[in-house]
Chain A
Amino acid sequence: MEAAPRNLKILTGITIGLFVLALYMVFIYAPREAVMGDVQRVFYFHVASGWVGAVAFLVTAIAGGVYLAKRDRKWDRVAVASVEIGVVFTFINIASGSIWARPIWNTWWTWDPRLVTATIMLLLYVAYLMLRQGIDDPDRRARFGSVYGIVAFVSVPITFVSIRIFRTIHPVIIGSGDPAAEGAFDMTPRMLQAFMFSLLTFTFIYATLLWYRIRLGRLSEEVEERKMEMMSV
Chain B
Amino acid sequence: MIEVRGLVKAFGVKPVLRGLDFQVAEGEFVAVVGPNGAGKTTLLRILTSMARPTMGEVRIAGLQLPRQSGAARKILGVVSHQPLLYGDLTADQNLRFFGRMYGVSNLDDRISEVLSIVRMSARRYDLVRDYSRGMQQRLAIGRGILHRPELLLFDEPHTGLDPDAADMLDDLLIRVADEGRTVVMTSHDLTRAGELASRVDILSGGKIARSIKRGELDRGELNQLYYEVTRG
Which of A's residues lie within 8 Å of B, judged by CB?
71, 137-139, 221, 224-225, 228
Shortest CB-to-CB span from A220 to chain B, Å, is 11
Within 8 A of A (CB), among B1-59: 11-14, 52
A225 surroundings in chain B (CB, below 8 A): 13
Residues on the B chain within 8 Å of A137, using CB: 11-12
Nearest neighbor of A137 in chain B, beta-carbon distance: B11
Q: Supply 7 A–B pairs (Cβ within 8 Å), ascending by A.
A: A137-B12, A138-B11, A139-B11, A221-B12, A224-B12, A224-B13, A225-B13
* Chain A residues whose CB sits within 8 angstroms of the CB of B11 once the complex forms: 137-139
Give the CA-CA distance A45 to B14 in the complex, in Å: 44
A-side contacts of B13, CB under 8 Å = 138, 221, 224-225, 228
Q: How far is the CA of A71 from the CA of B12 in the complex (A)?
A: 12
Query: Closest approach, in angstroms, between the C-beta of A228 and any C-beta of chain B?
Result: 5
Interface size on B, residues (CB 8 A): 5
Residue of B whose beta carbon sits closest to that of A138 = B12
Shortest CB–CB separation between residue B29 and chain A, in angstroms? 32
By a CB distance below 8 angstroms, the chain A residues around B14 are 228
Residues of B within 8 A of A138 (CB): 11-13
Interface on B for A, CB 8 Å cutoff?
11-14, 52
- Main secondary structure on chain A at its contact with chain B? helix
Given contacts A137-B12, A139-B12, A224-B12, 6 further A-B contacts (CB under 8 A): A137-B11, A138-B12, A138-B13, A139-B11, A228-B13, A228-B14
Nearest chain-A residue to B14 (Cβ)? Answer: A228
Q: Within 8 Å CB of A71, what residues of B? A: 52
- In the complex, A152→B14 CA distance in Å? 31
The 3 closest A-B pairs by CB, nearest first: A138-B12, A225-B13, A228-B14
Give the Cβ gap from A77 to chain B, nearest Cβ, in Å: 13
Determine the chain B residues whose CB is within 8 A of the CB of A139 once the complex forms.
Answer: 11-12
Residue of B nearest to A227 (CB): B13
Q: What chain B residues lie within 8 Å of A224 (beta carbons)?
A: 12-13
Looking at B11, B12, B14, B52, the one whose CB has the most chain A CB atoms below 10 A away is B12
Residues of B within 8 A of A221 (CB): 12-13
- Distance, CA A224 to CA B14, complexed state (A): 9
Q: How far is the CA of A14 from the CA of B11 in the complex (A)?
A: 39
Chain A residue with Cβ nearest B52: A71
A137-B52 Cα distance, complex, nearest whole Å: 14
Closest to A221 in B: B13
How far is A177 from B173 in the complex, measured between Cα atoms in Å?
Answer: 76
Q: A233 CB to closest chain B CB, in angstroms?
A: 12
In angstroms, Cα B54 to Cα A139, docked, is 11
Per the bound structure, the CA–CA distance linking A138 and B13 in Å amounts to: 9
Q: A101 to B14, alpha carbons, bound, how many Å?
A: 51
Bound Cα distance A139, B10 (Å): 9
- Say how far B110's CB is from chain A's closest CB, in angstroms: 36
Q: How far is the CA of A221 from the CA of B11 in the complex (A)?
A: 12
| Bound CA span A225–B10, Å | 11
Query: Bound complex: CA of A224 vs CA of B13, how far in Å?
Result: 8
CB distance from A84 to the nearest CB of B (A): 20
Chain A residues near B52 (CB-CB < 8 A): 71
- How far apart are B35's CB and chain A's nearest CB, in angstroms? 14
Give min CB distance, A165 to chain B, whole Å.
44
Whole-angstrom distance from the CB of B57 to the nearest CB of chain A?
A: 17
Give Cα distance in the complex from A137 to B14, angstroms.
11
Q: Please report the C-alpha to C-alpha distance between residue A223 and residue B13 in the assembled complex, in whole angstroms.
A: 10
The distance from the CB of A30 to the nearest CB of chain B, in whole angstroms, is 49
User: How many Å lie between the Cα of A139 and that of B52 in the bound state?
Assistant: 11
What's the minimum C-beta distance from A224 to chain B, rounded to whole angstroms?
6
A214 to B52, CA, bound (A): 26
Q: Which residues of A contact B12 (CB under 8 A)?
A: 137-139, 221, 224
Complex alpha-carbon distance, A137 and B51, angstroms: 13
Instruction: Tell me how far the C-beta of B54 lies from the nearest C-beta in chain A, rounded to whole angstroms.
Output: 9
CA distance A221 to B13 in the complex (A): 8
Distance of A74 from chain B, by nearest CB (Å): 13
